[in-house]
C-alpha cells in the first residue's frame, strides 16, 4: 500500500495530542496493546510509518470512533461493562440497539429475539416464557430456541446476565448451547454482564461524556403489538432523549427501515436531521455497478436523509493495487450524503480472510494490520465521517493519529 493518509506528515503525526477528559473523573483514555500489535503486523508503507510515529501520542475522544454495541470483541454486547470499555477506548459515540419488552419498555439488544444467545435466560426460570423454550438437538434435528425481549417484562429482563453472543445449535444441554463463544473472542470478561434499559444507556453514556446512536430494531412480533404501533415505538425512543434533556445534535438515531427515518424527519425534525439510514448489500450487489444498487441517493437526499450507513464491503474495493473507495461510495458522496460505516473487527481475523465485511477487498488483505489499511481507505478515499467497531481502540488510535474529530 502506498497511500499517504490525509496528507499528514510523519512528524505531524508524531506530535503529542492534547489530553481529553472522558467524564467527570477525568479518566485517561486507554487504548491497550492491540493497536500497536496490529501496526506491527502491517506491510511496510507510508501509512505504517505514520501510525508508528504516533506511538507516544495522547489519544483523544473522537466521534469518528463509534462503539458498536460497546466493545463486543471481548465484552458481552450491550452491557454496562462493554459500554464502559468502549468509552474508555475513546469512542465519541455509543450505541444502544433498541428493542421493547412485554410491557413496552425499551431495552438495549441487537435484536428483539436474541436473548437466548446474548443472555443466560435459558438457564433461568424465565426460559419457560420464551417464544420457543429450549429443546435439545436430537439426531439430525438442531436445537430449537427463541427468546424475545417481548416475552418478558423490563423487571424480568434486568434480572438476566449478559453473555457473549453465541449459541451451539448441536447442543443437547442448556450448558452446551450457551458455551459457544467464537474462538476469536473471549469469555474472560463475560462473568458479569449488566443489562441496560434504553434509559439506563442514556444516563450511562451521558456520564461517560459521549454522544448517542440508538438503532430502532425491526420487531420480531407483528406490529401493532398490543396497540403499540411502529410510530409509537419510533417516537418513544426519541422521547426518552427529550425527557433526559439530551440535545438533538448529540443523537444519531438509526434504522434499516427507511420509514422510521422519514418519520423522524417529519415528526422530530431536529432529531431527523441527524438520523442515519442503515443499508446492507442485497443479493447480487456489486459496489462498482450502479445497476445493482437499491438506494436512490438523490431521492434520499431530497427526502431529508443526510446520513447513509452502508457496511464496509459496500464502500471499499480492491483496484488491483490498493484498497480504494467504491463507485457506490463515490456516488453517495456526490449526492451530498454523509457516510458512516460498520463494523470493524466484527467478523474474525483479517489474516484468515476477515469474513463477510471484507469480501470486497479479500485479495488485498493478508495480515490483521490491514484493519488500518481499510480504515485509511474509508477515511481518505470514501470520506466516511465515522466507523463502528467492535474494539473502538483501533479506530480511536487511527483517528487520534490523523487528527480526525
Domains of the chain: 5-110+196-402 (3.20.20.190)
Q: Could you give the CA distance from residue 6 to residue 298 in angstroms, rounded to a whole number? A: 28
Spell out the residues 6+ positions from residue 294 whose beta carbon is closer than 8 angstroms to its own: 279, 282, 285
Cβ contacts of 123 within 8 Å, gap of 6 or more: 174, 175, 178
383 burial type by CB count under 10 A (0-12 exposed, 13-18 middle, 19+ buried): middle
Structure-block grid coordinates of residue 334: 456526490
Contact 64, 387 (CB under 8 A): yes
Residue 17: phi, psi to the nearest 5? -95, 155
The CA distance from 61 to 50, in Å, is 19
**Does the predicted model carry a pTM greater than 0.95?**
no
Give me 8's grid cell.
499528514
Instruction: Decide: 213 and 245 in contact? Cβ < 8 Å.
Output: no
Cell 432529531 belongs to which residue? 271
Radius of gyration, CA atoms only, the chain: 21
The per-residue DSSP string of 142-156 comes to PPEEE--GGGS-HHH
Query: Which residue is it, cell 430494531?
Result: 217
| Rounded Cα–Cα distance for residues 240 and 235 (Å) | 9
Interhelix angle 230-243/198-208, nearest 10 degrees: 30
Of residues 125, 284, 94, the one with CA closest to residue 202: 94
User: Which of these, 5, 24, 21, lies nearest to 13 by C-alpha position?
Assistant: 5
pLDDT at 17: 33
Q: Between the CA of residue 234 and those of 73, 231, 244, 279, what are the distances in Å?
A: 29, 5, 16, 18
- Residue 345: left (phi > 0), alpha (psi -120 to 50), or beta? left
Q: Please list the residues that pair with 307 across neighbouring strands.
A: 276, 338
Question: What's the CA gap between 385 and 405, in Å, rounded?
Answer: 9
What sign for the dihedral angle of Cα 181, 185, 189, 192?
A: negative
Give the chain's residues under pLDDT 50.
1-2, 4-25
For position 352, what pLDDT does the model report?
85
**Contact (CB, 8 A) for 66 and 79:** no
Partners of 119 in the beta sheet? 162
Amino acid at each position: 500500500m502506498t497511500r499517504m493518509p490525509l496528507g499528514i506528515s510523519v512528524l505531524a503525526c508524531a506530535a503529542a495530542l492534547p489530553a481529553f477528559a472522558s467524564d467527570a473523573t477525568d479518566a485517561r483514555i486507554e487504548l491497550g496493546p492491540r493497536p500497536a500489535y496490529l501496526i506491527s503486523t502491517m506491510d511496510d508503507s507510508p501509512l505504517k510509518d505514520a501510525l508508528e510515529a504516533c506511538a507516544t501520542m495522547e489519544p483523544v475522544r473522537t466521534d469518528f470512533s463509534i462503539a458498536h454495541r460497546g466493545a463486543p470483541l471481548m465484552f458481552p454486547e450491550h452491557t454496562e461493562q462493554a459500554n464502559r470499555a468502549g468509552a474508555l477506548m475513546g469512542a465519541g459515540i455509543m450505541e444502544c440497539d433498541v428493542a421493547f419488552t412485554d410491557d413496552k419498555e425499551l431495552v438495549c439488544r441487537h435484536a428483539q429475539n436474541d436473548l437466548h444467545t446474548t443472555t443466560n435466560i435459558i438457564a433461568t426460570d424465565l426460559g419457560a416464557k420464551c417464544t420457543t423454550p429450549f429443546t435439545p438437538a436430537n439426531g439430525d434435528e438442531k436445537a430449537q430456541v427463541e427468546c424475545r425481549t417481548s416475552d418478558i417484562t423490563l423487571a424480568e429482563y434486568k434480572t438476566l446476565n449478559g453473555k457473549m453472543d453465541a449459541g451451539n445449535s448441536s447442543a443437547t444441554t442448556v450448558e452446551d448451547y450457551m458455551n459457544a463463544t467464537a474462538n476469536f473472542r473471549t469469555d474472560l470478561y463475560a462473568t458479569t454482564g449488566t443489562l441496560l434499559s434504553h434509559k439506563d444507556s442514556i444516563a450511562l453514556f451521558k456520564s461517560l461524556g459521549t454522544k448517542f446512536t440508538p438503532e430502532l430494531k425491526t420487531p420480531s412480533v407483528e406490529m401493532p403489538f398490543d396497540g403499540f404501533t411502529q410510530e409509537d415505538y419510533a417516537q418513544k425512543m426519541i422521547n426518552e432523549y427529550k425527557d433526559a434533556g439530551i440535545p438533538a445534535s448529540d443523537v444519531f438515531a438509526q434504522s434499516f427501515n427507511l420509514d422510521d427515518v422519514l418519520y423522524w424527519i417529519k415528526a422530530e425534525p431536529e432529531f431527523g436531521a441527524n438520523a442515519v439510514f442503515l443499508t446492507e448489500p442485497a443479493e447480487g450487489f456489486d459496489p462498482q455497478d450502479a445497476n445493482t444498487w437499491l438506494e436512490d441517493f438523490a431521492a434520499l437526499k431530497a427526502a431529508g436523509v443526510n446520513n447513509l450507513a452502508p457496511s464496509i464491503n459496500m464502500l471499499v474495493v480492491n483496484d488491483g493495487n490498493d484498497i480504494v473507495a467504491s463507485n457506490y461510495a463515490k456516488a453517495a458522496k456526490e449526492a451530498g450524503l454523509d457516510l458512516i460505516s460498520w463494523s470493524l473487527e466484527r467478523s474474525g481475523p483479517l489474516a484468515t480472510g476477515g469474513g463477510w465485511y471484507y469480501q470486497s477487498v479479500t485479495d488485498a488483505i493478508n495480515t490483521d494490520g490491514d484493519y488500518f489499511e481499510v480504515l485509511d481507505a474509508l477515511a481518505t478515499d470514501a470520506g466516511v465521517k465515522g466507523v463502528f467497531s467492535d474494539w473502538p481502540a483501533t479506530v480511536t488510535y487511527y483517528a487520534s493519529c490523523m487528527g480526525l474529530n
